[in-house]
Structure 1
């Protein structure tokens, strides 16, 4: 990392602004998505992936507006599948995982909109090019007339879950990975997260070293339901290696408290343990859902574990309507519904 850049970033006067990162369960103005268009990345599966993205967009649009970023030259194809009611926004993009490449939105004390533009290198240079995705956050913030705060951290939105009251949960395997922020200490990363998101405390989980795509994003294992309450994935098979990793992360969470000194109440939700993975980066996660105004849009795989997962989500969010979307064409690429959406707070 360039030392001069680091010092300039630290000296930037974020501490003189008053802002916070709203929780995902707070009201939204809209949800952002990004249209898949790369034949070289997704091959024969691209058409099915696009249909799944359209299904997710239409499901979320039952609850709140959706803006779909579409790479120039692909708007006609997007419109044909999206139908009416979805706002299509042409911007250059490399890929379609807007949770990670888009802005992390903030609300300023005066009620105006802001957002963090993290540095983005496609999960540690796993896919190229990524320069347009690295520029996407600031383009969206400019379009929304929102204040853009630039960070020196390589970070993705899937690495973060917040309670709206100053607590962040993050994983060490992603944010501290050498392919993101080599030479930057855990203390520096924590300080930057607090500075950029208006936080009081970072709760660190060990993460998932088996995740070959995101290096163990937190949105593949847990999310906030409300302050002090977290949904957490589990695997019922005691011999399952990923299940043991989830259990270790849950133990780490239970050993800590949030910014208000509360121990975490945990609502368990199964992962898709009875779904066969069809790739090395298959996202076997139900918790990778999108929270919308009055609704939850969650993955379905047509397996019995899905009924258990829906029951858990209904317990966690009794005032929201659950809509399921088949994401079988998306998850082999390493993510699910949360990964392909980014909420903009009201």
Structure 2
């Protein structure tokens, strides 16, 4: 019997590349759940198509589509977009899809985390729990199975051994009950080939993801992060963001560097239309030579775009209106998953 260590990134000398590194392609998953999205589904599908087309201008894009809905997707997507028919429950592939890894020999692998729809918030989720391994098999990539519940939106990596995560998500009783912080940290290191996990307190107000890191923070390059803020000192979520930033600044990365921070506003002037509305500009997708970011048509968007331009001066920035997506609790980063080159 194979030693359990033989199926870890640590043992197989695999690495989790940073999102700012070159991609082979981006993956998305097509929304189809009338029971979840109701009358908003057509506009949500249109927003997904617009994000897909924006990304496809920079790099190849593959869209996972439930086999019963391929005709609808094909009619709305450009011919250059690859449709991959796999049964799915929902459309948040950052969380249900694999976390890709690369070997020192250039081989492709990925982690298949356990997925329970953010702590059982939606059902069914069996097909989404099986998606990572099916997608990896489609790509001919090895699958590493983890014993923890984890979503890709929980993870921010620098490609040099550092991971930033939040306690409210990964340590929530609806994900990994009875599991200590040390156990979860050890599993993250083993699965992703990491040296250091930086824990932030997270966001107890986030009713959907329980405070995913991709709603507040991302790596620009090793040692440098973007971090969201709210300029209103009375705003409760702004204080939560400030507490998380303070926690980050007390720590160092795997190379002993203090973190340099580039601030970016959240969509503070956008009216939330649901309890789980994603008011995040940092929830963008890095693509080859570009950044595809959310826009809401408000002044804060221009501030956010200027911050992204400062962070990524060599990338072209494209904004996409995802107002039909954000009431469901996520934005562009949540609906995409990059496959490294």
1:138 is paired with a residue whose SS is helix
Aligned ranges for residues 1-346 of structure 1 at < 5 Å? 13-14=7-8, 15-346=10-341
Cα deviations by residue, 1:110-161 (Å, 9 ceiling, x for unpaired): 1100000000000000000000000000001000000100000100000000
Q: Give the deviation of 1:12 after TM superposition.
A: 5.5
Provide the rounded CA distance (Å) in 1 between the counterparts of 2:78 and 2:152. Answer: 28
Cα deviations by residue, 1:223-243 (Å, 9 ceiling, x for unpaired): 000000000000000000000
Unmatched segments (≥5 aa) in structure 2: none
Q: Give the deviation of 1:109 after TM superposition.
A: 1.7
TM score, norm. by length of structure 2: 0.98
1:141 is paired with a residue whose SS is helix
Provide the rounded CA distance (Å) in 2 between the counterparts of 1:187 and 1:221. Answer: 23
Runs of 4+ in 1 over 3 A off after TM superposition: 8-13
* Root-mean-square deviation (Å): 1.0
Q: Retained in 2: the 8 A contact 1:234–1:268?
A: yes
Q: Retained in 2: the 8 A contact 1:103–1:138?
A: yes
Q: Give the deviation of 1:11 after TM superposition.
A: 5.4
Q: Give the deviation of 1:171 after TM superposition.
A: 0.3
Unmatched segments (≥5 aa) in structure 1: 1-7
Provide the rounded CA distance (Å) in 2 between the counterparts of 1:213 and 1:76. Answer: 30
1:63 is paired with a residue whose SS is coil
Query: How many pairs are equivalent?
Result: 339
Q: Retained in 2: the 8 A contact 1:9–1:151?
A: no
Provide the rounded CA distance (Å) in 1 between the counterparts of 2:230 and 2:149. Answer: 30
